[in-house]
Structure 1
Amino acid sequence: MEAQAINPAYTRMQKTVCLAALFLAWAIGYSDRIVMSTAIIPISREFALDAGQAGLLLSVFYVSYAVMQLLGGWLSDRYGSRIVVVMCVALWSLFTGLTGLAWSFGSLLVIRFMFGVGEGFFSPASSVTVAETFPKPERARAKSFLISTVFLGNAAGSAGVALAVVYLGWRSAFHILSVAGLAVAVMLWLALRDGMAGQRGRMAARPKHQLRELIRRPDALKLTFIWFGTSIVYIGMISWMPSYLLKAYRIDLLHVGIASTIPYLIAFLGTNVVGWLLDRHGKGREKRFMMAGALGSAVFLALMISTTSITLLVVYWTLCLLSFNFVYATVFSIPLKYFPEHLIGSATGLMNFGGQIAGSLAPSVMGALIVEFHGSYLVALSFLVSSALLAFIVAITWRAQPHLST
């Protein structure tokens, strides 16, 4: 019984369709995020923003996104994931389109905050969908496949958005992604099944005081801190790398997008390899995966800062993202394998809450450091290295709760 999906009625074809629909939703979602990292360059020119204001604009999405993580996990655990997933995609697509209609710095802040509200439910809801659809032996691969779209979406977003911004303008880039997102929302409604039959059984077995149960688990809290540290690294990089390349290497906007595509495409493949390794050889070795990933992120990021070669920068950037993959895929596979069914959505929401708090800090802190040090990126990027080392230290102390390792 333990190895079955929560809703065992899914056939192989239905599981494939479900996974494909979620894959497209994740890809669109991350394209919607990365567009701002590239578009912030012409947006800053149009609205006369300094680095501090640009950092605040890059951060505000993560504030609302963080808060919604906890609510999204609870709603999905209680009512099933289908309605939550579809609502998320439709809502964030609406505010993606509205971003292209912004008329001031203040309006951009409000719209991007609401964009975070829409997207915030999605990650924990999709974890519940995976649990409703796939048996435990298949979940790490399914989840890794979905989260690998972070990098596919970023790759497509970096190149595609750069082209759209250069040839159509930054506003059109947001409008195109909005239409694509609404189409995916319709596809999800048709592809996903209502998980309420499975949810009734879960709710019957659900203990009271669920959040209290979750925060009393040292493994859950440490996973949250590990994800906090590594999220500072990743979100800081995707937020400021286009601007860094533009300033430090004098690359034009179109080639910034092309250079950014290479690390993300390789990282997309790497995440799926890590998911396969976790299912095949990762049982009981999750701690090693997280330690190696966090330490590797710190080392390659430090090397990236120190080089003056654009070729080596792309190589180190790629290796940093591959190291990040080991943390990313491992952290989000652990609740699917070790946590009781009624905590999966909430645990994912808690970890993402920590990650998005990091996201709300990283771009604005880096922007403030860039302003403080007169346009230099050295201290801002060193802040990311220290965050990766924090994640490594916490990973050393992590272990799964023995009585829940089945």
Structure 2
Amino acid sequence: MPLIALGLNHLTAPVSLREQVAFDADAAGEALRELKAEPGVEEALILSTCNRTELYVGVAEGAEQAPQAWLNRHHRLTPGKLDEFLYRHDEDAAVRHMFRVATGLDSMVLGEPQILGQVKDAYQLARDAQALGAPLDRLLQHTFAVAKRVRTDTRIGAHTVSVAFTAVRLAEQVFTDLKQACVLLIGAGDTIELAARHLVDKRVSRLIVANRTLENAQDLASRYGGYAIALADLPQHLAEADIVISSTAARQPVVTRAMVEPAVAARKRRPMFMVDIAVPRDIDPEVAALEDVYLYGIDDLQQVIDNNRRSREASAREAETIIDLQVDRYMAWRRALTLRNPAVDLRQHAERYRDEVLLKAQAMLARGKSPDEALAFLANTLTNKLLHHPSARLREAALNGDLDLLHAAGRLYGESEPKDE
């Protein structure tokens, strides 16, 4: 069963296209079930983040084009629209790609840790949708172990600059002293919480958290000394914000030009710095045309991130070595699935001999033979039958000098291996 990794990311596609193929958490489960129902699709996992959308799919022979055809159809895209932006990895290349993604080697921020949590979420979603078979399930388990080892054995995660931290760093370039700034955070997920943590470290003057679910906003705001508002109340508070950082799972912009224009006018030429790190985008791109507004999207963060990448490149090379080894191990396990298991054959032969000899021993008892005589027959005959073929092969090996087989027999039966003459 071929394994395919198909997707696009921040390196291959602009955000305008990435947001068209993104899956939100509410729709991903149903999408998985739909993908799994495609002819030839045996198992599937969908990983969708702000920087990538990827399908990991096990397919039957001849169904290798099914994942891409489904992706186009599911998102109602013109056939061929994605062709120049998609990458595809098969078999061991697909395994290597997943390991690199989970360890942060394929991230915009080299070594960033948040992606592993997103892979784990995708795994749980696929399990809940009953979309995983044994090979893909085993691959995910192996992936988590590889990611843990890379984190333990290298410094790939040391001083990692997250997307949230990068947004805060950019804000500092516009407002040199964040202690005087009011920050509006839109959303209440992990990325926004990371941004809140960094902002509190910078001792921002005021923190406002807006979210569709007010209770979630209140929970986050209470932990970082902020003030919570409902998403519907954004227009009333936007003028207060010197800095806006947004990351929600909304399918449509939550901040529009019509919303920002009066806020900018009310600020009387005081600049407003906005960072949109959501895919699909939270802030209407037209907002960038307004005077005194500095709008950055997720792709604009790349330059800041690149400066931090160089310090971790040596650790990345160490991580690649670990990954190469683990790819070989997983693929060896996967190949073993297609091989006939000799242990099964051995047990079937032994059970057949047992049944034959047992019937003869029972017949002896029925004819009046003593139990001791029947048991002796059973033990001797069964031993001879079980050992006849192995003994003959070992005698041939000894005569022919086949040391490999003799050593293997020693390991198989738990005996000390024969010494070379």
User: Which of the five TM-score ranges fits, normalised by the shorter chain?
Assistant: under 0.3
Please give the TM-score of this superposition, normalised by the length of structure 2: 0.24
Structure of greater relative contact order (alpha carbons < 8 Å, 6+ residues apart): 1
TM-score by length of 1: 0.24
Higher-Rg member (1/2): 2
Larger strand percent: 2
